[in-house]
Structure 1
């Protein structure tokens, strides 16, 4: 029986559900707000030819990994590699796509290229004025994601934005940075402030913001595949052995098929094929 889907992508941290008129099993997927829009399309497409409903929530990668561990969801989503503390022999990771992290500024900003070092200094609060990096004499408004965000975790790793305090690794991002709860909110912050800088999933970039070249390479699928654009991370589905239903594992297997990977590319992400 084909399932009628009504999909709605909501703000990060709220329920994003594909509601079936008549359906069999419900598959729950929880985690990264970066992966959620892609997962929503996966769910809608898969449900058209399978008697299931797919429900997607995007509260963040850390929540998704926890949900996979404790069984509160069939599948977890993460847009960063698992931390050592999150790893377990029973927890399996499947790469369903790759994504670039675009460093974005307001469309009115004349700056178009920064080095990784400059970006790191901006986020640490060591560079505070656009004139220090070739822009106008205006203060830089730094926007970041919350600490549960996989995008933030990956960004900190790539940009060397971690420091040790009493032997514990912590974020080196300035306490003065504005914190956004998801890709959408961060993009809106940058779009509405001519002096803001932020970072979002490459698949979320649109004409409301301006992506910067990093070390001379603009973010694109081709530049990520060639390795020229190095600000990139995996999109993972995480599950604990024995927890997900057979239907959930079937759905996960489908995500690796050529048809599903075509969807990955159509959404501006990088396929695993």
Structure 2
């Protein structure tokens, strides 16, 4: 009887151990960049690289996404549109950021517009110039018009401030104004902030910068273009002439990590619209 009871207890303990092992194997931990199969928290990293003009937009989107997903880190490397497109093409970042559309030579990539941005034409706050046509802007930047008195300002030489080659802002501005490879610049700078500072510090300067970067800045003013101010409303309805897209660039055929896909989906959804507006851009999602 004692032997029978001992055997029964041993068999029972073995069954319990086997059941416990089975439960431990049924819910594996999520790997980096994936969500657990049982609905666990998202984790991993999302690397973005590119347009300096998208700093505010990508900043607010990243901040909110990381607040909602504490296991995810979203990084941003402000290298310029061309460098960001190259980075996603060669696999050194997850999402490229461009403030222009893809060129015909930039193949194997997909561009998704996340927002629209007006390119404000800015002058020093003390300038008498309030309004310019697209043609006048082109004449100023190509050196056809070299004195402010020709467009309603005080007499004095025009100093044109622009962005470096590869900048999405420069590409957008030049393509819209028809000044590609023809601008005569006093300074060629590598960031939107640098352009704003240069115009602020030079009474004779004219430059261009993202709407989101210009709003609220002292020492400069955005001129109207053919009577139309650069605002969210005029960018959205298309009445403001100088505007361009903010684009998320991904590699065709590449599978994004769960964290990257989740961030991409959030950024391009209507849930992000108020954040994009707060950053000074016009959301594209409807």
TM-score of the superposed pair, with normalisation by structure 1:
0.85
1:103 counterpart residue number: 121
RMSD: 1.3
Structure having the higher helix fraction is 2
Kindly state the Cα deviation for residue 94 of structure 1 after the two structures are TM-superposed.
1.0
1:143 counterpart residue number: 161
**Pair 1:246-2:258 in alignment:** yes
1:195 counterpart residue number: 204
**Size of the alignment, in residue pairs?**
240
Structure having the higher strand fraction is 1
Query: Any stretches of 5+ residues in structure 1 without a counterpart?
Result: 1-22, 163-170
Which deviates more, 151-160 or 220-229?
220-229
Which deviates more, 135-144 or 254-263?
254-263
1:227 counterpart residue number: 238
Partners of 1:36 and 1:57 within 8 A in 2: no
Could you give the per-residue CA deviations for residues 86-113 of structure 1, whole angstroms, max 9, x where no partner exists?
Answer: 133xx11111100000000010001000
Task: Write the distance in 2 (CA, Å) between the matches of 1:253 and 1:48.
Answer: 16
* 1:64-213 correspondence to structure 2 within 5 Å: 64-88=84-108, 91-162=109-180, 171-174=181-184, 176-205=185-214, 206-208=216-218, 209-213=220-224
Kindly state the Cα deviation for residue 121 of structure 1 after the two structures are TM-superposed.
0.8
Query: Any stretches of 5+ residues in structure 2 without a counterpart?
Result: 1-41
Partners of 1:74 and 1:243 within 8 A in 2: no
Q: Give the ranges of 4+ consecutive aligned residues of structure 1 lying more than 6 Å apart after TM superposition.
A: none
Kindly state the Cα deviation for residue 122 of structure 1 after the two structures are TM-superposed.
0.7
Kindly state the Cα deviation for residue 243 of structure 1 after the two structures are TM-superposed.
5.2
Q: 1:264 aligns with which of 273, 276, 281?
A: 276
TM-score of the superposed pair, with normalisation by structure 2:
0.81
